[in-house]
Chain A
Amino acid sequence: MEWLESFWATYSTLVLSVGTNVLLALSIYLTLSCGLLTVANAAFMGLGAYAAGLLTLNAGMPLWLGVSAGALLAALVALVIGRPTLRLSGVYLAMATLAFGEVVRIVILNMERLTGGALGLNAIPPLTQWFDVALAVGLVLYVLLRLARSRVGRTMAAIAQDETATELMGLNVRAYKLFAFVAGAGLAGVAGALNAHFTFFIGPNEYGFDRGVEILAMGVLGGTGSPWGAVIGAVLITLLPELLRGLGHFRPLINGVVLIAIILYSPKGLWDLLRFSRRHSPTAAA
């Protein structure tokens, strides 16, 4: 057991990051599987992280309460901005959500008395245990896998393929899209809250454009055909830089080359490759 202890001492942050990144990838899977290109998940993650961090740090609340509050805040904000922005589609939706992300970052930056501004929040209690993350990932994955195989999943796949045709099948497309957006935001809030309680420190720039693109990359790389795609994408994007650590200066370069190669050879994501080798189709099995 000794090696396990030393492994955990070295890699615990990495393992926990894999977990929260899986949650983030699943959060963007929800909107991507409806064919919606939103880039606001980093901002929702930030909202969750700050809400939870402030509650545990200043009010001494337990972790589960902080996580719930973080998820709730992110979901509520998503509900408010989702109604007008989800009328947009494609690149325009991406632009609008991108702008929203910047607004969140700048608001956090300027509410210095509450959030600490550019200095961020320091000394957040390290409350997140491995089983908290494992429980969250397990629960979310179960729910999303079941949802994907239900009518909800079938409808979301239909919306991704042809929104108008789906609407004319008597399905309330806008409600489904809002559901995906709000649920994804709540999930990103959970990930942010859990993440804040093992990184000790959070700052506004952690939840900016870079993080937004990273989350998107996890979702797209793994593939949007199944929640498993998001899991694969998140694990790969988190571990790849660590696996390439020996390459020194070339690390970011090779990292990028690997990602481009995957996108070129499997544009529908890694999950699609695996799916075809197993001759299994998630839309066929309902």
Chain B
Amino acid sequence: MLTLTGISKNFGGLQVLDEVTLKIPARGIFGLIGPNGAGKTTVFNLITGMLTPSSGTIEFAGCLINGMAPYQITRQGVARTFQNIRIFREMTLIANVLVPLGDHPGYSAFRALWPLSCHRPAEALEYDSARELLARVGLADKAERLAGTLSYGEQRRLEIARALATRPKLLLLDEPAAGMNSAEKLLLMDEIIKLEDSGLSLLVIEHDMRFIMGLCRQVAVLNFGRVIAQGTPEEIRANGAVIEAYLGTDDEVRERSGRRS
């Protein structure tokens, strides 16, 4: 479904990604893990067009998407959430979800000037689908509240609902469980599995290993801008290079303790 080929990205002299090649299959949950600063969010920013790669290509559903404007990539069927939540805080929940819903082809701004009665059927339909989306993430009862008043976990769920409103084929979740307690995490895992069952592909960045290992069929590990391992959760858990990336090598440990003494 999504293929990154030889993607490199540097900011001036700093090389953030080095020849990253990833194949995310259609359907299923794909995990992207790695230590802090490995370049995971940069991968998301490149896929969604917020950044352009220094070299390499990104293909989505048979279509080259690097070089497209972010809004065009979203229209191709890629949606995302953000590590630092970016909901519209001063809007109600329902208005948040309505923002992307309003944009379907054939809508012209001039229609806004028609008499109100002409809008009611279309508006009612939009409202229904917005409420449905909020219900999917368990926020239907708070639809008319301001988004800024929600708890942290609820804000993350609202962001997922808003991303779903763009009718994506691929959903990118950037640390969806960050700052959630274990009960909320379990709830979120359930919701993500439901999304997978509905035919969506998901690419998830997460630090919580239990979360990733429990959800993903395939996991890729990024370290210092390179993919150092890719495989099933079991393979990743047993992979020497991954353990080294997270925990360091024996030599390093000895060296550090040597210095300390």
Contacts and interface: CB of A to CB of B under 8 A. Distances in A.
Given A154-B99, A170-B166, A283 B71 contact: no
A176 to B, nearest CB: 9
Interface stretch (A143-151, A199-207, A255-263): A143-151
A112 interface: no
A267 B165 CA distance: 33
A72 interface: no
Nearest to A284: B92
B91 A157 contact: yes
B142 interface: no
A162 interface: yes
B69 A155 contact: no
A161 B88 contact: yes
A168 B79 contact: yes
A170 B88 contact: no
A154 B98 contact: yes
A169 interface: yes
Residue picked from B50, B88, B91, most chain A C-beta under 10 Å: B88
How large, as a class, is the contact surface on chain A? 20 to 34
A173 B109 CA distance: 14
B190 interface: no
Interface in A244-286: 281, 283-284, 286
A172 interface: yes
A164 B86 contact: yes
A99 to B, nearest CB: 28
B199 interface: no
A171 B99 contact: yes
Contacts, number: 92
A155 B113 CA distance: 16
Contact of A154 (B69, B80, B87, B102): B102
A171 B109 contact: no
Given A169-B162, A172-B71, A154 B95 contact: yes
A91 interface: no
A158 B48 contact: no
Contact of A169 (B103, B111, B113, B144): B103
A166 interface: yes
A32 to B, nearest CB: 15
Contact of A158 (B91, B111, B119): B91
A171 B95 contact: no
A179 B103 CA distance: 16
A167 interface: yes
A171 B112 contact: no
B149 to A, nearest CB: 13
B80 A168 contact: yes
B100 A171 contact: yes
B223 interface: no
A11 B113 CA distance: 34
B86 A162 contact: yes
B188 to A, nearest CB: 20
Contacts of B50: 164, 168
B75 interface: yes
Given A151-B107, A158-B91, A162-B86, A167 B112 contact: no
A170 B103 contact: yes
A277 B215 CA distance: 49
B229 to A, nearest CB: 29
Contacts of A147: 109, 112-113
A166 B163 CA distance: 11
B224 interface: no
A171 B103 contact: yes
A165 B82 contact: yes
Contacts of B90: 161, 283
B95 A283 contact: yes
Interface in A102-142: none
B113 A143 contact: yes
B70 interface: yes
Nearest to A157: B91
Contact of B112 (A152, A164, A170, A284): A152
B99 A168 contact: no
Given A153-B112, A168-B48, A179-B109, 20 more contacts: A146-B113, A147-B109, A150-B119, A151-B98, A151-B107, A154-B95, A157-B91, A158-B88, A158-B91, A161-B90, A168-B74, A169-B100, A169-B103, A169-B166, A170-B74, A170-B100, A170-B166, A171-B99, A172-B71, A286-B123
23 contacts: A147-B113, A150-B111, A151-B98, A152-B112, A153-B112, A154-B95, A154-B98, A155-B102, A161-B90, A165-B82, A165-B86, A165-B88, A167-B69, A167-B70, A168-B71, A168-B74, A168-B79, A168-B80, A169-B71, A169-B162, A169-B165, A283-B90, A284-B144
Interface of A: 143, 146-147, 149-155, 157-158, 161-162, 164-173, 179, 281, 283-284, 286
